[in-house]
Amino acid sequence: MTRTKSMRGGALSVLLTLLLIGAALLAFVGWYKFFREEPQPAWAFATPEMRFKYGSIGAEQAAGIPYWIFYVLPRLFPEKLPPGPGGYVALGVPWEQGQELPVGFTKKTIGFPRVGNNCAVCHTATYRTKPDENPTFVTAGPGHTTDVEAFFRFLIDCAKDSRFNADNLMAEINLVTDLSWFDKLLYRFLIIPFTQRALLDREVQFAWIYRPDFPEWGRGRDDAMNLTKYFMIKVPMDDSFGPTDMPSVWNLNKYKPEQGMFLNLAGDSHDAYSVIMDSALGLLGAPPKRPQEFVAQVEWLHEYLGALPAPSYPLPIVAEAAARGHALFGQHCASCHASARTGTRIPAAEVGTDRGRLGTWNKEAAMAANKVVRKMGLERKGLVEESIDGYIAAFLDGIWLRGPYLHNGSVPTLRDLLEPVAARPKLFYRGYDVLDAEKVGFVGTGPEAERVGTRFDVGQRGNSNYGHEYGVDLSTAEKQDLLEYLKTL
């Protein structure tokens, strides 16, 4: 036994301990800088409404954008946003005064602050009764102002630009915040390159939104079933195109699956719970990390949206006219909109509206999507595994706030919907939030609507304003009465 040997042994164990401490420290720093989850501030959950608008549903993990990159992109690439007011406002996102981010954008720290989305980005409406008024925000209303397609394209287009690099982004970030030297290194060498890679990966899945032969979705629409197809089940792209209006998602308890009702505009899903789960998975962009928490989120949304009432019409209603209108509604509309047919599918051949949306989905897609969700270990009744050829006879609660009308948003106002197809507007602008008190819907023409809105041409693919010619033979006075009644719903 020699002293040197034991000394060597001692030195070795010291070295080992140091190494272990070093490794542990590194692991800790790595965890802290990339995975540590901080709860959102309490205000984001202060009320159910705040939670719906700003609460994270877990989308920051896989689909989130690092906060400072999100912050500086519009400053570096303003030309890639739609023309209009500065920054993300140009996307038409509802944005409450005093809030750091628009409605539907969530900020959460997972290692570093990240920005994700929740349901409110597509399911919050704003309206004004006149131009010089502050907007009213309606949670669970249709996001008729938001240009989702422009947002998707913006992120990808930025990532593709050679100016998207660490030097440029760091220079801009340093102008607006004071990151520690360590965070600067992380941003420069890891976060910025990784984000760029992740955004470029999306380009392939989004190829169809760049097709020149497909018209713009425009404000307040997306191509919901194609999104599901290309993101959830990752099938090869086909030629289908079926943009749909963002629907309202209040009062979901009105749907009674046990009475043969379905959800989604063509009735592709069995019940609200399933739609909510699938929509949330779409936002996450990956299987949920903690399934139990995820299911709890879905349950909360289901409960909140289930019981949330539709908002009332904000302007005066002429009661006698509405009463006369009620009788007309009974004769011409109730057979579908206040009967056993409501919430059920009406054959496309009967209602006669645009067929584009129907071509975007089929039985095989439904089976594949259900399989994907089952594999995640999630339970829900899911998507309807049959061929579908019709549209749901809509519940009309809060219909005054749901313009433009029909599943593809092709008719700007309720009054226009009561005209035969040939007399409906062929060109209008979507996404302007001033109510048209005369025709009920949003103002779709005039300099302001043109400045703010996106152009909608009913001659373009997926945009036809055909069909649903009910009540079109009523007299002008009767149409006025019926309109008055529709305001009360």
Site residues (vs ligand HEC, CB under 6 A)? 57, 117, 119, 121-123, 148, 222, 224, 244, 246-247, 249, 252, 263-266, 272, 275-276, 279-280, 283, 301, 332-333, 335-337, 346, 350-351, 353, 357, 391, 393-394, 396, 399, 402, 405-407, 414, 417, 468, 470-471
Closer CB to ligand HEC, 205 or 335, in the complex: 335
CB of 223 to ligand HEC, least distance (A): 8
Closer CB to ligand HEC, 187 or 247, in the complex: 247
Residue 61 CA to residue 108 CA, distance in Å, equals: 9
CB of 18 to ligand HEC, least distance (A): 48
Closer CB to ligand HEC, 72 or 280, in the complex: 280
Residue 232 CA to residue 226 CA, distance in Å, equals: 10
Cα-only R_g, the chain: 26
- Would you say 173 and 72 are in contact if contact means Cβ atoms under 8 Å apart? yes
CB of 245 to ligand HEC, least distance (A): 6
Closer CB to ligand HEC, 196 or 228, in the complex: 228
Residue 347 CA to residue 184 CA, distance in Å, equals: 58
Closer CB to ligand HEC, 412 or 471, in the complex: 471
Residue 126 CA to residue 431 CA, distance in Å, equals: 10
Closer CB to ligand HEC, 192 or 402, in the complex: 402
- Would you say 172 and 75 are in contact if contact means Cβ atoms under 8 Å apart? yes
CB of 148 to ligand HEC, least distance (A): 5
Residue 362 CA to residue 268 CA, distance in Å, equals: 9
The backbone torsions φ and ψ at residue 433, rounded to the nearest 5 degrees and listed phi first, read: -105, 20
CB of 38 to ligand HEC, least distance (A): 22
Closer CB to ligand HEC, 72 or 114, in the complex: 114
The backbone torsions φ and ψ at residue 76, rounded to the nearest 5 degrees and listed phi first, read: -80, -30
CB of 43 to ligand HEC, least distance (A): 20
| Amino acid (one-letter) located at 79 | E
Instruction: Provide the sign of the torsion angle of the four alpha carbons 54, 59, 63, 67, taken in this order.
Output: positive
CB of 414 to ligand HEC, least distance (A): 6
Closer CB to ligand HEC, 80 or 487, in the complex: 487
Per-residue buried b or exposed e for 200-230, using 16+ beta carbons within 10 Å of the residue's own CB: eeebebbebbeeeebbbbbbbbbbbbbbbbb
Place of tokens 């299987």: 287
CB of 123 to ligand HEC, least distance (A): 6
- Would you say 175 and 242 are in contact if contact means Cβ atoms under 8 Å apart? no
